[in-house]
């Protein structure tokens, strides 16, 4: 891989996917030009550095860069939230005339035009892999008051149906360790690592939001301590990426989720086997380093 010059438009807001892409690119043999920006503020109308690729990762907001449309070098956009905001992302891509569009959700890629291709989300092997030393980062009182192990846990956005699942698990006798927008990165990894089961329910479970393969799927499997129990959707790519009952376990209804959570809480060795298989699979195939290499390989093939 030759030393490509990558201009990276880098959102300074923490806990988003841009952080992981930037971190992975720094570890590769590229000349990385960091252009930090605050997505909540207007961007200056000034020329952007030239490079083999200007790369922008979706940070949840359609940020207007005045000089982006007239940028003369190749430019790419990684679309994360287009499963919820397809029209907004389509308009944004059309307006800025990206040469490459990578889309986190398989079933959405076609809706962003012929230059779009599927590039799933991923995990970070340093941030999302549980290691015993992570527990040492806690305060004294938290160590004293907090249980060392739970049956099932989740760290994610506070959708109503996620809170309902937490109550449902408790009602059925399972110990829970749920956090809603309180734990991120290594602290989230630590909390999931306390559990036999890492739980996920997508934003689209109730049909109110778009279907997706969200970040928690990859991050929980990367954990290695907790087995992933998640809902899935047809034709969005789960079957392309993972093997059910080997790398993870799925459910379709609340009753099935409770039944499987009870089973694995009572069979922790089986849960641990799935957790280890899931972790091996993620680290071998689905880290942000893999995703960045795929982006760079597209550039090399186009030369």
Name the band, by pLDDT with cuts 50, 70 and 90, for residue 80: very high
Whether 177 and 152 have beta carbons less than 8 Å apart is answered as yes
Return the closest-CA partner of residue 151 out of 126, 127, 168, 131.
168
Instruction: Say if residues 127 and 171 touch (Cβ distance below 8 Å).
Output: no
| pLDDT at residue 137 tops 60 | no
* Predicted confidence (pLDDT) at residue 160 exceeds the cutoff of 70: yes
Q: 303 exposed, middle or buried (CB, 10 Å; 0-12, 13-18, 19+)?
A: exposed
Q: What is the pLDDT of residue 73?
A: 95
- Residue holding tokens 């599927």? 118
pLDDT tier at 206, thresholds 50, 70, 90: very high
The mean per-residue pLDDT over the stretch 235-243 comes to: 96
Give pLDDT, residue 14. Answer: 84
Q: Give the mean pLDDT of the chain.
A: 93
Q: Which two tokens stand for residue 2?
A: 């030759």
pLDDT of residue 245: 97
Percent with pLDDT over 90 in the chain: 86
86-132 per-position pLDDT tens digit: 999 999 999 999 999 999 999 999 999 999 999 999 999 999 999 98
Local confidence band at 244 (pLDDT 50, 70, 90 cut-offs): very high
Sign of CA dihedral 234, 238, 243, 246: negative
Reading the block at residue 140, the tokens are: 């004294």
β-pair type (4-11, 53-57):
parallel
Name the pairing type of β-strands 30-37 and 4-11. parallel
What is the predicted pLDDT for the residue at 2?
61
Residue 48 pLDDT greater than 90, yes or no: yes
CA geometry: angle at 84 spanning 244 and 295, to 5°? 70
Tell me what the mean pLDDT of segment 220-234 comes to.
97
Name the one residue in this structure whose structure tokens are 């040492």. 136
pLDDT, position 143: 60
Lowest mean pLDDT among 58-67, 94-103, 108-117, 136-145: 136-145
What pLDDT shows up at residue 300?
A: 75
pLDDT at 223 over 70: yes
β-partners of residue 200 are 230
What does the pLDDT average to over 217-241? 97
The DSSP code sequence of the chain is: ---EEEEEEEE-STTSHHHHHHHHHHTSSEEEEEEEE-TTSPPP--PPPP-SEEEEE--SS----TTTTT--S-EEEEESSTTT-HHHHHHHHHHHT-SEEEESSHHHHGGG-TTEEE----B-TTTSS--GGGGGGS-HHHHHHS-S-EEEEEEE---HHHHHHHHHHHHTT--EEEEESS--HHHHHHHHTTEEEEEE--TTTTSSS-----HHHHHHHHHSSSEEEEE--TTSSHHHH--BTTTBEEESSHHHHHHHHHHHHH-HHHHHHHHHHHHHHHHHH-BHHHHHHHHHHHHHHT-
**Residue 83: how many other CB atoms lie within 10 Å:** 25
pLDDT at 163 over 90: yes
pLDDT score of 144 more than 70? no
> What was the pLDDT predicted at 138?
64
pLDDT of residue 141: 54
- Pick the residue with more confidence: 298 or 199? 199
Q: Which of 47, 82, 185 is nearest to 125 (CA)?
A: 185
Predicted local confidence at residue 166, as pLDDT: 97
């Amino acid at each position: 891989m030759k030393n490509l010059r990558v201009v990276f438009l880098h959102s300074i807001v923490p806990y988003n996917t841009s952080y992981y892409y930037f971190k992975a690119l720094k570890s590769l043999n590229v000349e990385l030009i960091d252009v930090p920006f605050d997505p909540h503020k207007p961007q200056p109308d000034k020329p952007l550095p030239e490079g083999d690729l200007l790369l922008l990762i979706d940070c949840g907001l359609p940020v207007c860069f005045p000089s982006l449309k007239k940028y003369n070098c190749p430019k790419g956009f990684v679309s994360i939230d287009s499963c919820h905001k397809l029209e907004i992302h389509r308009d944004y891509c059309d307006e800025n005339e990206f040469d490459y569009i990578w889309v986190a959700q398989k079933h959405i890629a076609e809706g962003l035009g012929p230059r779009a291709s599927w590039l799933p989300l991923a995990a970070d092997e340093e941030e999302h892999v549980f290691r015993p030393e992570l527990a040492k980062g806690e305060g004294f009182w938290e160590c004293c008051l907090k249980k060392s192990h739970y049956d099932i846990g989740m760290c994610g956005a506070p959708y109503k149906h996620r809170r309902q699942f937490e109550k449902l698990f408790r009602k059925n006798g399972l110990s829970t360790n749920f956090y809603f927008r309180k734990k991120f990165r290594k602290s989230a990894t630590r909390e999931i690592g306390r559990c036999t089961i890492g739980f996920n329910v997508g934003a689209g479970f109730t049909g109110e939001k778009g279907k997706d393969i969200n970040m928690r799927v990859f991050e929980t499997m990367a954990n290695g301590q907790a087995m992933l129990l998640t809902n899935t959707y047809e034709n969005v790519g789960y079957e392309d990426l993972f093997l059910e009952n080997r790398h993870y376990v799925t459910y379709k209804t609340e009753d099935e989720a409770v039944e499987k959570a009870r089973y694995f809480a009572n069979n922790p060795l089986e849960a641990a086997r799935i957790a280890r298989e899931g972790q091996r699979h993620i680290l071998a195939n689905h880290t942000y380093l893999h995703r960045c290499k795929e982006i760079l390989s597209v550039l090399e093939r186009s030369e």
